[in-house]
Structure 1
Amino acid sequence: MTNPPLLTPADVTLLMVDQQAGLAFGVGSIDRQMLVNNVIALARTAKTFQLPVVVSTSASKVYSGPLMPSIRSVLGDVPSLERRNMNAWEDQAVRDEIEKTGRRKLLVSGLLTEACVSFPVLSALADGYEVSVVADTCGGITPESHALALRRMEAAGATMTSWLQVLLELQRDWTRKETYDGARAIVEGHAGGYGIGLAYARDMIHPV
């Protein structure tokens, strides 16, 4: 199987599933603070590159809580589509929003990897979508069950990626001025040592 072509801002939609505190409490596959950092970076990336974003939540009134406020502050007025089914792909409102974009490539981020991430990914693949799972913005109950869910999705045809790879793939050329400032700010704010290095280069290294 050949690898899909590189993502461009014009051809991809971001689906964010159940990024809610009540579910984040159960995450054991990644440090929760790092998980939130990564999800915020991905949300900022989507806004910088003007990607359509579809947000779905579940049990927000009785267990999981709303979309985490730090993520909501980035996404602004993007609506949260509440559903009952674990599989967002089986929720008509979610499907309608994705289909409205007219795009056949999906980025998927969510909680928990074992169910509410893997189920819609497997279903979207079966319906002919190209799906990239932003694995470091997903969390599972244990490292082992998270890894097994990623393996299952990859075996079915999904591509595994990270938020930083998504950002760099969409930017690709640092001379693209329209997204340069936004992309660089995200890297500096969320990419650890790489971001520190970019900030250092900006502030300390000057042409002779």
Structure 2
Amino acid sequence: MSYARFTAENAALLLIDHQLGTMGWARSMAFEELKRNTLMLARTARILKMPVVLTSSMEEYAQGPLLAELEAILPAEFAARIKRLGIVNAMDDERFAAAVKATGRQRFIIAGVTNDVCTVYPALSLASDGYEVQVVADAGASPSKFADDIALGRMQQNGVTLTSTNQVIAELVGSWATPEGSQIVQEVVMPALQG
């Protein structure tokens, strides 16, 4: 199997259900670490001008609103977010599936909360449809480490590549010496390391 690098020109970012409620249910990772990694991905995508699709589930109910910082970082994408009414697999929502297809990309970077419900099914769906998928394991979490391990293992067994926040950012950047790479070091990487 050959490796082809994910870049801002060939990949899109899908952020699924980074809502206050769902993030509060996740226990396999600390809330602040989960939030930091998610916002690092959002800031990187903005700087690199990558397509981003945001979605939420049942915002008005238990799952609550998306992270407010996502609106500040990605205002247009936040306004265009797909508000699902309880559909578990986001790819089963016609509006979300259409937004994903509209990116025109064949490679997708996915982060979601929780990994064992909100991330696993769209990742499996996209992989089975022939797309290349990376799931950012540390920008998602589950109610328990056991649930997280099972979900990540299931995705990996079905052709999904697992990655981490720092790893996928470095892959997308390619060189820290570019103007975008330098900006990401200053605005994304260093603040996260110092925080």
TM over 0.5: yes
Superposed structure 1 runs of 4+ greater than 6 Å apart = none
Which moves more between the two structures, 73-82 or 97-106?
73-82
Per the alignment, residue 56 of structure 1 pairs with 55
Per the alignment, residue 23 of structure 2 pairs with 24
Q: Does the CA-based 8 Å contact 2:173-2:180 persist in structure 1?
A: no
Count of aligned positions: 192
Secondary structure, counterpart of 1:117 in structure 2: helix
Q: Look up the equivalent residue of 2:71 and give its one-letter code.
A: R
Per the alignment, residue 38 of structure 2 pairs with 39
Secondary structure, counterpart of 2:91 in structure 1: helix
- Identity, in percent, stands at 30
Question: Could you state the TM-score of these two structures normalised by the residue count of structure 2?
Answer: 0.94
Q: Is 1:81 matched up with 2:59?
A: no
Q: Does the CA-based 8 Å contact 1:171-1:183 persist in structure 2?
A: no
Q: Does the CA-based 8 Å contact 2:113-2:141 persist in structure 1?
A: yes
Secondary structure, counterpart of 1:19 in structure 2: coil
Q: Does the CA-based 8 Å contact 2:17-2:55 persist in structure 1?
A: yes
RMSD: 1.4
Q: Is 1:161 matched up with 2:163?
A: yes
Please list the CA deviations of residues 111-131 of structure 1 after superposition, one character each: whole Å capped at 9, or x if unmatched: 111111001000111111100
Secondary structure, counterpart of 2:97 in structure 1: helix
**Deviation of residue 46 (structure 1)?**
0.7
**Deviation of residue 3 (structure 1)?**
4.7
Name structure 1 gaps, 5 residues minimum: 197-208
Larger-gyration structure (1/2): 1
Per the alignment, residue 173 of structure 1 pairs with 175
Which moves more between the two structures, 165-174 or 86-95?
165-174
What CA distance in whole angstroms lies between the structure 2 residues aligned with 1:4 and 1:178?
Answer: 23
Please list the CA deviations of residues 76-119 of structure 1 after superposition, one character each: whole Å capped at 9, or x if unmatched: 12122011310001111111111111101000011111111001
